[in-house]
Amino acid sequence: MYFYFYYFNRNYKINSYFSFMSKDDKFKKVISHAKEYGFIFQSSEIYDGLSAVYDYGQNGTDLKNNLKDYWLKAMVQLNENIVNIDSAILMHPKIWKASGHVDAFNDPLIDNKDSKKRYRADVLIEDHIAKIENKIQKEISKASKRFGKSFDIDQFKSTNSRVLGYQNKIIEILKSFNQAMENDDLVGLKKIIENLEITCPISGSKNWTDVKQFNLMFGTKLGASAENATDLYLRPETAQGIFVNFLNVQKTGRLKIPFGIAQIGKAFRNEIVARQFIFRMREFEQMEMQYFIKPGTQHEWYSKWKDNRLAWHLSLGLGEENYRFHDHEKLAHYADAACDIEFNFPFGFKELEGIHSRTDFDLSSHEKYSSKKIKYYDNQSNESYTPYVLETSIGLDRMFLAVFSKSLIEEELADGSKRVVLKLPKILAPKKIAVLPLLKKDGLPELSKQIIEEFKWEYNTVYDEKDAIGRRYRRQDALGTPYCLTIDHQSIEDGTVTIRDRDTMVQERMKIEELKVKIKNELDIKTWLSF
Ligand code: ATP
């Protein structure tokens, strides 16, 4: 039997006030919290850092590993026809010719002559469009306040002259923007920037250089002497490691189409503008899955994987309103359909994951460049064909930022004090349980260590005896630890401990065996991933 025991509950939250902060302030809080609590550090910090390269600290590494595990379980463990590989970062240089990266992995760059700052021309235009979209949103929220319950958003959008004006402006910009991107028309891109009177956010001036193409791949050399060295690239995506192993995996695994090959690994891009913390890094990690299918079935699989990936995101409980699909107008050279899952980051909706119908472009191209036959023999229909590919590609670091930023909440409590709490999905929390002896004496530390022994085999468990209990709770709140177990004198007498829930701050006294059942139920992967 267990009974409830509430104490320290007077502080129950009354308000979350991060929502009142500006986007910039919220983002700054995210970055400083990530550093202060050992999640993310600037790379090479003692040498003043390396731009857009980051190190994960002790808690960040745990969170990142939990994210990988959550993806791998959903993608590989729960799908008997999807396998996992780990290919090398360095690959034969012809691969990048075949994939199109040598010729086409470019971004259009533009410099502001006054600030000397470099920008992606397409991003400047996209940001301008986002500003107009924000104006529409403002009109909508003003009107919804004015009309209250009777507000009809669709009618408002289709009749309000200001909103219609903004919408037409966006359509007009998109028309010329898509055309310029489609035709690699760099002069056209510059003209759009000039016509829209886009200014540099640093200098405020419109003094732009011409737009140039910039290849994003990092070059490196292989070989002991400079004369004989071969030029290589650090891979800009993990996908090609999957394509060039298609036959190896299919044959050794005796896999039948449809089947998938998944991979988590580092990718490198010499990004022109990398100023958004771990959103855009020069060294980052991708979690990609290439699903090999019969030609002609790509539309069906495209829509299935869109649904599946969105369901995976929603299973984490960060709020449906924070995700949206964005269909690509301009398709990459290899795709016949593509979209992004965008997430509401602290700086607005941006790409989190890409879902691409890649046709047979990659396998056909590797067949051509390697002169090796890359076909699948279907022994039911007795035909041999080049499979089509459906890709899901998500940045692990962007996923980290999405989860971390949405979970970081500052609450005002009933007694007027504030607490910062990282309400991570419990399944992803770096440490699941903190064991806290109320006092550093009377056998409480010893009993705490015994309790850790009970849990540490299954869950990341920490011990903390420093400072008053309230401060220890706050520390664990800031780290996102879902459960604090407080060990007191009664624990020695009757074997019960107090469990405090990170999100509600509610405390209950329970027997250890009952605790185990509660925690097991709440962290049951089956419940999290049954969608
Ligand atoms: P963007 O348009 O933001 O540059 P992309 O369309 O080039 O991204 P993809 O090539 O589709 O991105 O890569 C798949 C995923 O890898 C992206 O959805 C993103 O999550 C991640 N990703 C791409 N570039 C970076 C980067 N520089 N830093 C961190 N993650 C990245």
CA of 320 to the centre of ligand 1 (A): 22
- The Cα 134–Cα 433 span in angstroms is 42
CA of 332 to the centre of ligand 1 (A): 13
b/e sequence 174-201, b meaning 16+ C-beta within 10 Å? eebbeebbeeebbebbbebbeebebebe
Q: Is 455 in the pocket of ligand 1 (CB under 6 A)?
A: no
- The Cα 107–Cα 393 span in angstroms is 19
CA of 325 to the centre of ligand 1 (A): 15
Tokens read off for 329: 């107008």
Total Cβ atoms within 10 A of residue 60: 23
Helix axes 121-147, 186-195, angle to 10 degrees: 40
Nearest one of 498, 407, 399 to 444, comparing CA atoms = 498
Tokens read off for 399: 């996923």
- The Cα 198–Cα 432 span in angstroms is 48
Asked if 163 contacts 156 with a C-beta cutoff of 8 angstroms, the reply is yes
Largest CA distance in the chain: 80
CA of 176 to the centre of ligand 1 (A): 24
Residues in contact with 475: Cβ distance below 8 Å, sequence separation at least 6, in sequence order: 464, 467
- The Cα 433–Cα 456 span in angstroms is 9
Tokens read off for 84: 């996992």
- The Cα 196–Cα 173 span in angstroms is 9
Closest residue to atom 23 of ligand 1, CA basis = 395
Phi-psi region of 495 (alpha: psi -120 to 50; beta: other; left: phi over 0): left
Q: Is 354 in the pocket of ligand 1 (CB under 6 A)?
A: yes
| pLDDT string in tens for the chain (531-residue length) | 222 222 233 333 444 545 556 777 899 999 999 999 999 999 999 999 999 999 999 999 999 999 999 999 999 999 999 999 999 999 999 999 999 999 889 999 999 999 999 999 999 999 999 999 999 999 998 999 999 888 999 899 999 999 999 999 999 999 999 889 888 899 999 999 999 999 999 999 999 999 999 999 999 999 888 777 888 999 999 999 999 999 999 999 999 999 999 999 999 999 988 779 999 999 999 999 999 999 999 999 999 999 999 999 999 999 999 999 999 977 888 889 999 999 999 999 999 999 999 999 999 999 999 999 999 999 988 999 999 999 999 999 999 999 999 999 999 988 899 999 999 999 999 999 999 999 999 999 999 999 999 999 999 999 999 999 999 999 999 999 999 999 999 999 999 999 999 999 999 999 999 999 999 999 999 999 998
Q: Is 265 in the pocket of ligand 1 (CB under 6 A)?
A: no
Q: Is 107 in the pocket of ligand 1 (CB under 6 A)?
A: no
- Collapse the DSSP code of 256 into the 3-class scheme (helix H, G, I; strand E, B; otherwise coil) and give the result: coil
- The Cα 381–Cα 379 span in angstroms is 6
CA of 339 to the centre of ligand 1 (A): 12
Q: Is 393 in the pocket of ligand 1 (CB under 6 A)?
A: yes
- State which amino acid sits at residue 461: T
| Backbone φ, ψ for residue 172 (5° rounding) | -60, -45
CA of 338 to the centre of ligand 1 (A): 14
DSSP 73: I
Q: Which atom of ligand 1 is nearest to the CA of 340?
A: 18
- The Cα 216–Cα 219 span in angstroms is 10
Q: Is 362 in the pocket of ligand 1 (CB under 6 A)?
A: no
Q: Is 281 in the pocket of ligand 1 (CB under 6 A)?
A: yes
Tokens read off for 442: 């009377």
The domains found in the chain, sorted by start residue, are 37-91+231-415 (3.30.930.10), 106-215 (3.30.40.230), 431-529 (3.40.50.800)
Residues in contact with 428: Cβ distance below 8 Å, sequence separation at least 6, in sequence order: 63, 66, 67, 70, 316, 403
Residues in contact with 524: Cβ distance below 8 Å, sequence separation at least 6, in sequence order: none
CA of 439 to the centre of ligand 1 (A): 49
Nearest one of 61, 332, 365 to 240, comparing CA atoms = 365
- The Cα 360–Cα 357 span in angstroms is 9
- State which amino acid sits at residue 389: V
- The Cα 292–Cα 276 span in angstroms is 34
User: Measured between alpha carbons, how far is residue 286 from residues 92, 171, 393 in Å?
Assistant: 20, 33, 7
Closest residue to atom 3 of ligand 1, CA basis = 351
Q: Which atom of ligand 1 is nearest to the CA of 288?
A: 14
Tokens read off for 243: 């394509």
Tokens 């025991």 sit at which residue?
5
Pocket perturbation via mutation, ligand 1, pick of 125, 330, 398, 400 by most ligand atoms within 8 A of CB? 398
| Backbone φ, ψ for residue 287 (5° rounding) | -120, 105
Q: Which atom of ligand 1 is nearest to the CA of 395?
A: 20
CA of 235 to the centre of ligand 1 (A): 13
Closest residue to atom 31 of ligand 1, CA basis = 395
Pocket perturbation via mutation, ligand 1, pick of 106, 285, 286 by most ligand atoms within 8 A of CB? 286
Tokens 């002069």 sit at which residue?
187
Nearest one of 115, 111, 93 to 102, comparing CA atoms = 93
pLDDT the model gives residue 181: 86
Pocket perturbation via mutation, ligand 1, pick of 105, 284, 334, 390 by most ligand atoms within 8 A of CB? 284
pLDDT the model gives residue 16: 53
- The Cα 264–Cα 67 span in angstroms is 11
CA of 395 to the centre of ligand 1 (A): 6
Tokens 């509950």 sit at which residue?
9
pLDDT the model gives residue 228: 79
- The Cα 397–Cα 54 span in angstroms is 10
Q: Is 351 in the pocket of ligand 1 (CB under 6 A)?
A: yes
- The Cα 244–Cα 87 span in angstroms is 10
Closest residue to atom 22 of ligand 1, CA basis = 395
- Collapse the DSSP code of 288 into the 3-class scheme (helix H, G, I; strand E, B; otherwise coil) and give the result: strand
Q: Is 122 in the pocket of ligand 1 (CB under 6 A)?
A: no
Q: Which atom of ligand 1 is nearest to the CA of 274?
A: 27
Asked if 419 contacts 411 with a C-beta cutoff of 8 angstroms, the reply is yes
| Backbone φ, ψ for residue 411 (5° rounding) | -115, 145
CA of 346 to the centre of ligand 1 (A): 17
Closest residue to atom 9 of ligand 1, CA basis = 354
Q: Is 309 in the pocket of ligand 1 (CB under 6 A)?
A: no
Closest residue to atom 29 of ligand 1, CA basis = 280
